[in-house]
Amino acid sequence: MPRLRRVDCSTPGLSRRRSGRGFAYYDAAGRRVSDAETRARIAGLGIPPAWREVWICPHPRGHLQATGVDAAGRKQYLYHPDWRTRRDQEKFDEMVRFADALPSLRERVAADLGGPGLSREVVLACAVRLLDIGFFRIGSEDYAARNESYGLATMLKRHVTIGEGHLIEFDYVAKHGKRRVQAVADPMVSDIVGRLRRRRSGGDELLAFKESGSWYDVRSEDINAYLKEITGDDFSAKDFRTWSATVLAAIALGVSGEVAHSETGRKRAVNRAIQEVAHYLGNTPAVARASYIDPRVIDAYHGGLTLLPALQQASREGQPGELAIHHPAVEQGVLDLIRERAASPALARVA
């Protein structure tokens, strides 16, 4: 198969114009596209009718196949399937590096959480801890201002309630205008979040730090910069969601029980696991599977491997209320699944 070629959407390409109830397509010279193969390729891209300023790659093996501006004014991109496959593999390989770095990252975060007051290090460590345990999107300041929807970095004080037992509840409008109610119980950050919520200065945003007598809002860039500071690598807030989704899927498959002994049962278990992950992420099952769950975990399950022994160890050793998702044996078991270490004591064969 021919290799993909890198293309630039600022160079001449194909365009589309309204024609009757559909669209007609034109090349850079203004000639109408009549070639059946090209028209079939364009139809297969599924370019949304609402897109404006549509650019279509003239090359069938271009890594970028189409761009356009959606109804919200955002530029959108449609990539060649082979390019998406390659990028997804790179993303999940990056996630594995992130998982390897998590133990030292968590040690640094725990140390910074013990710092004085509501300093930059304390508040950014609090933000990273919440990303680690809460499945949060980081959020965008521009997106919050434009759509009145929020992520962790843009959360307002009024979105947060502090309850008993170190419980923190977040009730806010998330991406796509959907209401999200998330609760985490964590003694490491509940007091800090409570102090941030009760402060009288520094604006309406929940996350802000005090430095030289002034308050500064925490932005998504600050959180990602802090991650780079403490890891020395270019990890981002999204890596937490990808890793947590992958671990949660592996746990759901690990406890699937007797149904795992048939192919039909395994398919049902996979679908249930994906739905559970989608619920925690606040995404559709299709997005959860395509963008967040490492496919190697599902492949391992279809091959008969689960992390049931690791889950049993977590159950024996865990504290009341502690989530198995963060138990070292479980996280190591997920890495063993991904790396196809079938002899790992954290794994068991179900068939």
Q: What is the CATH number of the domain that holds 202?
A: 3.90.15.10
Kindly list the averaged pLDDT for each block of 10 residues, start to end, along the chain of length 351: 86 94 94 94 95 96 94 88 82 91 97 95 98 91 78 95 94 89 93 95 92 93 95 93 96 80 86 95 93 94 90 83 82 94 87 62
Residue closest to 196 by CA, chosen among 163, 161, 157: 157
- The answer to whether residue 100 sits within a structural domain is no
Domain boundary residue, one of 235, 265, 286? 235
Same domain as 223, residue 251: no
Q: What is the pLDDT of residues 106-140, one digit of tens each?
A: 999 999 999 999 999 999 999 999 999 999 999 87
Same domain, 228 and 131: yes
At 58-75, the pLDDT tens digits run 999 999 999 999 987 889
Give the chain's domain count.
3
Of 54, 75, 173, 188, the residue nearest 122 (C-alpha): 188
CB 274 within 8 A of CB 249: yes
* 9 part of a folded domain: no
Cα(306)–Cα(17) distance, rounded to whole angstroms? 52
According to the model, what pLDDT value does residue 319 have?
66
Residue 337 placed within a domain = yes
User: Does one domain contain both 258 and 196?
Assistant: no
Long-range residue pairs from 233-240, CB within 8 A, at least 24 positions apart, any chain: 233/97, 233/101, 235/98, 235/101, 236/138, 237/131, 237/136, 237/137, 237/138, 237/152, 238/138, 239/94, 239/95, 239/98, 240/131, 240/132, 240/136
Q: Verify that 69 and 186 share a domain, yes or no.
A: no
- Write down the pLDDT at residue 262: 79
Last residue of a domain, one of 208, 235, 262: 235
127 and 245 in a single domain? The answer is: no
Co-location of 110 and 224 in the same domain: yes
Name the token pair of 269: 């278990």
Shared-domain flag, residues 255 and 215: no
Same-domain status, 229 and 253: no
**Are 280 and 178 spatial neighbours (Cβ–Cβ below 8 Å)?**
no
Smallest CA-to-CA distance from 325 within 120, 172, 102, 162 is with: 102
Residue 3 lies in a domain: no
CA distance 277 to 292: 9
Compute φ and ψ for 79, nearest 5 degrees.
-105, 160
Give the predicted TM-score (pTM) of the model: 0.80
pLDDT at 187: 92
Range of the domain at 42: 15-79
For the chain, what is the HEC assignment? Answer: CCCCECCCCCCCCEEEEEECCEEEEECCCCCECCCHHHHHHHHHHCCCCCCEEEEECCCCCECEEEEEECCCCCEEEEECHHHHHHHHHHHHHHHHHHHHHHHHHHHHHHHHHCCCCCCHHHHHHHHHHHHHHHCCCCCCHHHHHHHCCCCHHHCEHHHEEECCCCEEEEEEECHHHCEEEEEEECCCCHHHHHHHHHCCCCCCECCEEEECCEEEECCHHHHHHHHHHHHCCCCCHHHHHHHHHHHHHHHHHHCCHHHHHCHHHHHHHHHHHHHHHHHHHCCCHHHHHHHHCCHHHHHHHHCCEECHHHHHHHHHHCCCCCCHHHCHHHHHHHHHHHCCCCCCCCCEECC
Residue 242 CA to residue 238 CA, distance in Å, equals: 6
67: in domain: yes
The verdict on 190 and 220 lying in the same domain is yes
Amino acid 10: pLDDT: 92
Q: What local confidence, expressed as pLDDT, does residue 116 receive?
A: 92
Assigned domain for 263 exists:
yes
CATH code of residue 261? 1.10.132.120
Cβ proximity of 26 and 17 under 8 Å: yes
Same domain, 225 and 290: no
Residues 62 and 152 in one domain: no
**Of 235, 262, 280, which marks where a domain is finished?**
235
CATH number, domain of 26, equals: 3.30.66.10
Residue 88 lies in a domain: no
Give me 247's structure tokens: 């671990």
Residues 113 and 227 both lie in one domain: yes
Asked if residue 92 belongs to a domain, the reply is no
